[in-house]
Amino acid sequence: MPSLPITSSPRASRLPSTPPPAARASVLPRLRTVASQLSELNAVQVDDLAEIPRANWPRLTCSRGAFILHSWLGGRKGRKRHSWIGDHGFFLMKLNDEHLDDGVYWVCKYCYSFFSNKATSSAIIHLSSDHGRSKDGDDDEPGPKRSRTVLDLQRSGARPVILKRTEELFKQHLLTLIVKKNLPFSLVEDETFRSLFSLLNAGLTDELLPSSHNTVRSWLVDLYEAELGKLRELLDTALSNVNLSWDTWTSPNSKGLLAIIAHWIDDDFVFHTRLLALVELQGSHSGENQAAEINSVV
């Protein structure tokens, strides 16, 4: 396995490099959750965008692409959407590489799952199955067209009290199981899997176990972004040269894979080894192709 020091200077070798903050952010994107970015976008005044080219507008960026608030758009495109799901989320416009419109999306404000707005049925099913929300009302705030029955009140009062810590631990262990065992996201929709949990505690199962694979996907994306931010902060502690090693192999389905690993000693003289990227290698395993992929990461 080859190993190569990035630079000869201990401080200059720090990955990301120490000069401008923008350079560091280009190596490992700064942690910014979907929730925090939406909060920032909602604080923007539309009038302030009038003199700014669209390419420079603030935007939400995540693994799904770049987005702006749909309400920022003028004319018919930006007209207010009256679908009831707008009360439970945000309408965004996806942008392509030329900063042009690439489709309207709806984002759930409870779990930040993304859905294409070509058909709202998926978003409606998600709100109903994962969050107990409907057009006529929900479990928390009844709508004007529907009053709560005695049975509704009994069910609401019977819902178990769940500590935030318990909820987070459950989510953490569920994601760990799915990732480590390479299980499908749709596992949470399987009746047998849900029945197994219900045998232990049916109430907690209904409250904690998501019923849609989209929720699991959203959780994993958020977890990835959080861990990426932690890795960036950890790299900033490098006192020694940050050295890279890498390895290539072919997967059982004939995909060329390249793993890029960083090694360094921090300012407490603790040795660290961390995986920076696992990418699909395009073409042969030649040094030229490997160098191109490594450069795109560092």
CB 23 within 8 A of CB 16: yes
Tokens of 196: 């197994």
Strand arrangement, sheet containing 89-95: 60-62, 65-69, 89-95, 101-108, 114-116
Q: Name the residue with higher pLDDT: 26 or 176.
A: 176
* Per-residue pLDDT band at 179 (split at 50, 70, 90): very high
What is the per-residue pLDDT for 42?
A: 81
Helices (H), 94-147: 121-131
What is the per-residue pLDDT for 181?
A: 94
Element (H, E) at 295: helix 287-297
Q: Is the pLDDT of residue 26 over 50?
A: no
What is the per-residue pLDDT for 246?
A: 93
What is the per-residue pLDDT for 162?
A: 62
- DSSP-derived 3-state class of residue 262: strand
- DSSP-derived 3-state class of residue 223: helix
Domain spans in the chain, listed from the N-terminal domain onward: 16-230, 237-297
Q: Name the residue with higher pLDDT: 238 or 135.
A: 238
pTM above 0.85, yes or no: no
* Per-residue pLDDT band at 32 (split at 50, 70, 90): low
First and final C-alpha spacing in the chain: 18
Q: Looking at residues 132-150, what average pLDDT do you find?
A: 55
Q: Is the pLDDT of residue 288 over 50?
A: yes
Q: Is the pLDDT of residue 210 over 50?
A: yes
44 alpha carbon, distance to own chain's centre: 22
- The pLDDT tens digits for 81-91 are 557 888 888 88
Residues sharing a CB contact under 8 Å with residue 230, sequence separation 6 or more, in sequence order: 31
Q: Is the pLDDT of residue 24 over 50?
A: no
Rounded to an integer, what distance in angstroms lies between the CA atom of residue 279 and that of residue 274?
A: 15
Rounded to an integer, what distance in angstroms lies between the CA atom of residue 46 and that of residue 69?
A: 10
Q: Is the pLDDT of residue 265 over 60?
A: yes
Q: Looking at residues 234-242, what average pLDDT do you find?
A: 88
